[in-house]
Structure 1
C-alpha cells in the first residue's frame, strides 16, 4: 500500500471515531468488512490509526486529519529511532491526560513504553507446546521470572506477520491469543484439578479457559457474566479449546449469587478503566475520565463484597484489574481487607499480597493482582 493510500484509509477511519464509537470498534467494523485488503494492509492501517492517538497532543489541531496522521507517523519514526529525543517531562504532559498524574506514579520507562508498539502474546495448550513453535514459527518465551517454570514453553510472544486468527492451529484450539499479564492472573490463581472455582466476571472466557487448562479440564468452574452475548462467545471458544469443566451462568454482580455452591477459589477479574491497556489502545487515553475511575472503583469493591461469602474457609480469593490507577488497585484491595478481617492477604506469584504488573517490565498490558485466603 502506498503512503498516500495508507494516509487516506487511516483518515477515513479516524473521521468516524468518537467517544461512543472507539477507534478499535471502528477498525473492526471497517476492516472486517473489507475483503479486498491484504492482512498486512489492514495491520498497517490499524497501526497508523493507533499511532495517531498515541501522538494526538503533539498534532496541530487546525490541520486536516490527513496532515495530522502524516505528522503522527513522522513522530513515531523519530521515537523509534531515538526514544530519548522525547523528554520525560514532555511525555508526561502530552502522552497521558492530566488527571492520571494523581493516580499513577509516572516514570520515564513507563511513558516511553506507552509510545511504542505493543507485543502479541499467545497461550499454547500444553500438549502442543513442543510442536507449535515448529509449525507456526516466530515464537519466543517470556523472560519474566513471574511465569512459572513449568509454563515457560506455553507462554509465548509472537513476532511474525501472519494473521493468527486465520491459522489452522488457532481454529483447532492449539493456542489462544492472550496477553502475558492476563496469563499471569491465571498463574496467580493456581487452581487445582480437584477444586471448584468461580470466575465471576468471565466475559468472553479468556481466563475461564486458562483456569480450565490449568485444572486439566477437571474439577468445575462456574463462569458468570451479566452479558449473555459474552457467555455465548465463551461457549464457542470453549468448544474450540475442548474445555468442558465449566458451567456458564448469568450474574449481575449483585448480592443474589447465581448458586449456593461454596468455592475453593474465586477470581474477580473486575470491570475497570483499562488504563493498563493504553499502549495497545491509545484512543482510550482520551475517552476515560476520572469519574469513570471513581464509579468503577465502587463497582469493584461491591463485587468483592458480594462474592466473598461464597468462598470456603481456607479458600483463595483473587482480585485482578487491567488498570494501574491507585483508586482501582491498592485503595480497593485495602478497603476490602479492612472490611473483612477473616480474609488474610496472601502472596501473589511468590511476591507480596498486592502485585503491580508494569507494562514496561513485562512488555505487555499493565495489571494489578491481589489475593486473600479466608480463615479456616
Structure 2
C-alpha cells in the first residue's frame, strides 16, 4: 500500500474507535483480518497514524479546526510525519485506495502555522496534572504525547547487558541512562516498525524481558534484598516480581498474588523462562495469604490505577477516562493499602507504586493512609536512588514519595512511596 491507501485505512480505523468505542488494538486487529492483502509494514504504518493522531488529538484538532478522524490523520501526516501538503494532495489523485481529494479548506488548514501549545489531555484533568507537575505541566504533557521507546530489562539471573546487546545488535540497542540493566530501542519515525524482539533467541531463553525503564527503576527502588520475605500483592503478569527476583539473586522468597486470575495467568510461563526459583504464586482465593500475616519484610503494591502514566503507549485511554473511573480506582487503592498492613511485620516496608501522574492516586492516597494507620514513616527514596541507579536523582520530589515522568526521566509516568512500619501492631 502507498501512503494514500494507508491514510484511508487509518481514517477507517479511527472512525471505528470513536464511533463504537473500541480499543485501538482491537480495531487495528479487526481491520487487518478484513484486509489480508495488507503486509506487516502497512499494518505498522496504519497503527502509527492512528496512535499519533490520538496522542496529539487536541493539537491536531485545533490546527485543522476539526476533530474528525480524517482531519486528525491528515494533520498527522503533514505536521508529525513531515509530508508536504501539496505532495500529499497530489498523491491522492493516482491511488484508487486514497480517500476523497483534499479540499481547499483542508489545504488551508494544513498550510496554517500551528497555534499555541496545547496540553493534549482532557480538560477536567488539567487541574490535577498542574497540581502534580507544577509550572512545567504543559511541557510534561507534550513529552507524554511523544512516541515511547522499547525498553528491555536484562535478566541478570541468566545473562548480562553486554551479551543481550550483542544478541540484539541488529537493532542497535542503547544502554538505559538510569536503570543499570536496561537496554533501549529508540522510538522510530513515520511508518517505522517496532522490532519484534520476542522472536529473538535471547528472549526465548529468558535473557531479557520487555519492561519500560520507569518500571525497572521503581522495581529497584522497592529495595527487595536477598533473603527477604516479600509479598507482591498486585503481581499481575509478574513484571516486577521478575525484576525483584533478579535483584534478590534468587535468594529469599517472593509471594506473587493478584485478585484477578486472568491477570495472573502469564506469570507462570514468565517465571519458568526467566529461571526464577524464589517466587511462589498465590492464587486469588480469600485465604491465600492467611499464613503470611505479620511475616513479610516487604509488601509491594503495584496498585490498579487510571494508567495516566502510560498515555504514550495507550493514548486512546486518556480520552475515555472519567471522574467515575478515577473515584473507583482511588477506592480500590485504599482497600488494597489497608489490606496490605496485615502481612507486614514490625520494621517491614510497605511499597506503594502506581503508573499514574494524578495526586489523587499518589500523594493524596499515601497521606490518607497515614491518617488511617499510625506507626508508619516515609523513607527517603532519593537516598535509595543513589544506591541502585545510575546518575543523580532526576525524578520529581513529591509528598511522601517521588514521581517519574517522560520529560524528566524519559520513562512512563510512575509514582512510588516506601513506608517503614515502626509500630509493633
TM (normalized to structure 2)? 0.77
Aligned pairs (5 A) from 1:229-248 = 229-248=262-281
Instruction: Select which of 392, 405, 424 maps to 1:358.
Output: 405
Number of the residue aligned with 2:118: 91
Matched, 1:282 2:315: yes
Q: Does 1:45 align with 2:77?
A: no
Supply the distance in 2 between the matched residues of 1:348 and 1:131 (Cα, whole angstroms): 31
Name the stretch that deviates more: 283-292 or 24-33: 24-33
Cα contact 1:250–1:258 (8 A) shared by 2: no
Partners of 1:32 and 1:368 lie apart in 2 by: 38
Partner of 2:79: 75
Deviations 1:240-293 (A, max 9, x none): 2122322222337x8x66232121111100000011111222111110112211
1:294-320 residue CA offsets vs partner (Å, 9 max, x unmatched): 221111111101111210111111000
For 1:191, what is the secondary structure of its paired residue? coil
Rounded to whole Å, the distance in 1 between the matches of 2:47 and 2:342 is 44
1:258 pairs, out of 284, 289, 300, with 289
Which residue among 167, 176, 179 is the counterpart of 1:142? 176
**What's the offset of the Cα at 1:36?**
6.3
Partner residue in 1 for 2:160 = 128
Which 4+ stretches in 1 moved above 6 angstroms?
32-36, 61-64
1:102-146, Cα deviation, whole Å (9 max, x unpaired): 2112524212212321121110112322211122122222223xx
Please list, as runs of the form range in 1=range in 2, the aligned pairs for 1:111-122 lying within 5 A after superposition. 111-122=141-152
Secondary structure of 1:273's aligned partner: coil
Question: In the superposition, relative to structure 1, how do residues 28 and 55 fare at CA in structure 2: closer, same or farther (>3 Å)?
Answer: same
Kept in 2: contact 1:201–1:269 (CA 8 A): yes
The C-alpha deviation readout for 1:312-354, integer Å capped at 9, x for no partner, is 1111110000011111111001111222221111122526641
Does residue 1:297 correspond to 2:330, yes or no?
Answer: yes
Residue equivalent to 2:55: 54
Tell me the residue number matched to 1:208: 241
2:402 and 2:281 mapped to 1: Cα distance? 29
Report which of the two structures shows the higher radius of gyration computed on alpha carbons: 2
Of 103-112 and 229-238, deviating more is 103-112
Paired residues of 2:261 and 2:284 also in contact (CA < 8 A) = no
Match of 1:158 among 185, 189, 198: 185
Contact map agreement 1:188 1:349 (CA 8 A) in 2: no
Identify which of 125, 130, 138 aligns with 1:100.
Answer: 125
CA distance in structure 2 between the partners assigned to 1:29 and 1:366 by the alignment: 30
Cα distance in 1 for residues equivalent to 2:336 and 2:369? 10
Q: Could you tell me which residue of structure 2 aligns to residue 82 of structure 1?
A: none
Q: Let me know the Cα RMSD of the aligned residues.
A: 2.6
Which stretches in structure 2 are left out of the alignment for 5+ residues? Answer: 84-112, 131-135, 189-193, 386-396
8 A Cα contact 1:224 1:249, kept in partner: yes
Deviation for aligned residue 1:37: 5.1
- In structure 2, what is the equivalent of residue 373 of structure 1? 420
Deviates more, 1:215-224 or 1:156-165: 156-165
> Is this contact kept in 2: 1:257–1:307, CA < 8 A?
no
Residues 63 and 358 (structure 1), Cα distance of their counterparts in 2 relative to 1, 3 Å cut? closer
Shift of 1:71: 2.1
3-state SS of the aligned residue for 1:165?
A: helix
Q: Structure 1 length as normaliser, TM-score?
A: 0.87
SS of equivalent to 1:260: helix
Secondary structure of 1:372's match? strand
- Alignment match, 2:226: 193
Residue correspondences, number: 359
Question: Residues 157 and 199 of structure 1: is their aligned pair in 2 closer, same or farther, counting only changes over 3 Å?
Answer: same
Give the 3 Å change call, closer, same or farther, for CA 27–313 of structure 1 in structure 2: farther
Aligned partners of 1:122 and 1:157 also within 8 Å = yes
Structure 2 counterparts to residues 284-363 of structure 1, below 5 A: 284-350=317-383, 353-363=400-410
Mark the CA change 1:30 to 1:259 in structure 2 (over 3 Å): closer, same or farther: farther
